[in-house]
Amino acid sequence: MDKVEFLSKTPLFESCSAKSVKSIAEQTRVRKFSAGDEIIVEGSQKTMGFYMILDGEARVSRADHHLGDYGPGDYFGEIALLLDDTPRTATVTAVTDLSVLVLTRWDFKALIKTNPEIAVEVMGVLAQRLAATDRVLGE
């Protein structure tokens, strides 16, 4: 599956126009991690990327508590797209060999200047994730 097809099927970008999805695909890069690699480290400000899993599995944890597992089509690191100099809120570790698409904060900011619909879609999905997190924390 090519990047455009993959992105158009992800919940984050499925409502975007074909033109916007193509623009996003042009800005992403494929990156590979080995099983056991830490992709994001809780508290770190070193990584500025947003990741979408192409193949493989990753585990999310905070303070050594398992929060969930991600697989193909899932994404993480979206807060880094919107907030500068914000520490990562969790650690994401490759459980298996992992292939991801990476979009940097700088590329995202350039994209939304020319394709504002991307920002609207991303904010909607982020609001849904925040609401879901609030529900879980409220239980």
Q: Which residues pair with 91 in a beta bridge?
A: 61
Give the CA count within 13 Å in the CB-facing half-sphere of 38: 12
- Our measurement of the distance from residue 15's CA atom to the centroid of its chain's CA atoms, rounded to an integer in Å, reads 16
Instruction: Tell me if 35 is assigned to some domain.
Output: yes
Which helix (H) or strand (E) element contains residue 98?
Answer: strand 98-104
Instruction: Tell me if 139 is assigned to some domain.
Output: no
Structural domains counted in the chain: 1
User: Residue range 104-115: average pLDDT?
Assistant: 87
Give the CA count within 13 Å in the CB-facing half-sphere of 66: 6
Residue 31: what pLDDT?
A: 95
Range of the domain at 76: 3-132
The answer to whether the pTM exceeds 0.95 is no
* Lowest mean pLDDT across 6-15, 26-35, 76-85, 87-96: 76-85
